[in-house]
A and B are shown apart, each in its own frame.
Chain A
Amino acid sequence: MTPQPLVKLTDISVDLYNNSSDNFSFKKFVLSRQFLPKTISILENISLTIHKGDILGIEGSNGTGKTTLLSVIAGILPISKGERLVNGRCLPLLGLGHVFHEDLDIKRNIELWSLSFNSNFLINDDFIKSIISEAGLHVTQDVLLRSLSSGMKSRLAFELAMRDSEDILLLDEVFSVGDAEFRARSGDRIKSKLKQSGCAVIVSHDRDILEKNCTQILRIKDRKTIELC
Chain B
Amino acid sequence: MLSEFNFKQLRKFISLMLALQKKNTLFGFLFGLIPPLVTALSIELFIGKIIDGDVHTNGVKGVSVLFFILFSSVISQSTEGLKRYGSIVKRSYLSPTTVILAETWVQYLSFIAAFLIIAIVFMIPIIITFKLIILSLLVLFYAFFIAYYLVVASSILEDFSRIIAILFQLIFWVSPILYGIRQVNHHLTYFFILSPFHSVFEMIHLIFTPSDFNIGILSISLLSSLSFMFLLKFSLSRLRKKVLVFL
Question: Interface residues of A: mostly helix, strand, loop or mixed?
Answer: loop
* A116 interface contact, C-beta 8 A: yes
Chain A residues within an 8 Å CB radius of B20: 101, 103-104, 108
Chain A residues within an 8 Å CB radius of B160: 26
B121 nearest CB across to chain A (Å) = 33
Q: Which residues of A in the span 15-38 have a Cβ within 8 Å of any Cβ on B?
A: 15-17, 24-27, 29, 35-37
Q: Which residue of B16, B92, B244 is within 8 Å of A104 (Cβ)?
A: B16
Q: Do the beta carbons of B13 and A115 come within 8 Å of each other?
A: yes
Chain B residues within an 8 Å CB radius of A35: 156
Q: Which size bracket describes the interface of A in this complex? A: 20 to 34
Q: Do the beta carbons of B92 and A92 come within 8 Å of each other?
A: yes
Q: Do the beta carbons of A112 and B16 come within 8 Å of each other?
A: yes
Q: Which residue of B9, B12, B91, B242 is within 8 Å of A98 (Cβ)?
A: B91
* B94 interface contact, C-beta 8 A: yes
Q: How far is the CA of A27 from the CA of B245 in the complex (A)?
A: 22
* A111 interface contact, C-beta 8 A: yes
Question: Interface residues of B: mostly helix, strand, loop or mixed?
Answer: helix
* A76 interface contact, C-beta 8 A: yes
Q: Do the beta carbons of B16 and A111 come within 8 Å of each other?
A: yes
Which B-chain residue is minimally distant from A36 (CB atoms)? B156
Q: Do the beta carbons of B94 and A24 come within 8 Å of each other?
A: no
Which B-chain residue is minimally distant from A172 (CB atoms)? B91
The contact string, 1 if C-beta is below 8 Å from chain A, for chain B 208-241, is: 0000000000000000000000000000000101
Q: Do the beta carbons of A25 and B157 come within 8 Å of each other?
A: yes
Q: Do the beta carbons of A95 and B159 come within 8 Å of each other?
A: no
Q: Do the beta carbons of B93 and A24 come within 8 Å of each other?
A: no
Chain B residues within an 8 Å CB radius of A108: 16, 19-20
A77 and B244 contact, Cβ closer than 8 Å, known pairs A104-B16, A108-B19: yes
Q: Do the beta carbons of A99 and B92 come within 8 Å of each other?
A: yes
Q: Which residue of B92, B157, B244, B245 is within 8 Å of A24 (Cβ)?
A: B157
B4 nearest CB across to chain A (Å) = 10
Which A-chain residue is minimally distant from B9 (CB atoms)? A115
Chain B residues within an 8 Å CB radius of A15: 245
Q: Do the beta carbons of B157 and A26 come within 8 Å of each other?
A: yes
Q: Which residue of B15, B91, B157, B239 is within 8 Å of A99 (Cβ)?
A: B91
Q: Do the beta carbons of A37 and B156 come within 8 Å of each other?
A: yes
Chain B residues within an 8 Å CB radius of A209: none
Q: Do the beta carbons of B93 and A78 come within 8 Å of each other?
A: no
Chain A residues within an 8 Å CB radius of B156: 17, 24, 35-37
Q: Do the beta carbons of B16 and A27 come within 8 Å of each other?
A: no
Chain A residues within an 8 Å CB radius of B19: 104, 108
A78 nearest CB across to chain B (Å) = 5
Q: Do the beta carbons of B16 and A78 come within 8 Å of each other?
A: no
Which B-chain residue is minimally distant from A105 (CB atoms)? B19
B245 nearest CB across to chain A (Å) = 5
Q: Do the beta carbons of A118 and B88 come within 8 Å of each other?
A: no
* A148 interface contact, C-beta 8 A: no
Chain A residues within an 8 Å CB radius of B244: 76-78
Q: How far is the CA of A27 from the CA of B157 in the complex (A)?
A: 9
Interface on B for A, CB 8 Å cutoff? 6, 8-9, 12-13, 15-16, 19-20, 87-88, 90-94, 156-160, 163, 239, 241-242, 244-246
Told that A78-B245, A94-B91, A115-B12 touch, could you supply 7 new A-B pairs with CB distance under 8 A?
A26-B157, A27-B159, A35-B156, A78-B242, A95-B91, A101-B88, A116-B88
Complex A-B, nearest 3 residue pairs according to Cβ-Cβ distance, in ascending order: A116-B92, A115-B12, A94-B91
Interface on A for B, CB 8 Å cutoff? 15-17, 24-27, 29, 35-37, 71, 76-78, 92, 94-95, 98-99, 101, 103-104, 108, 111-112, 114-118
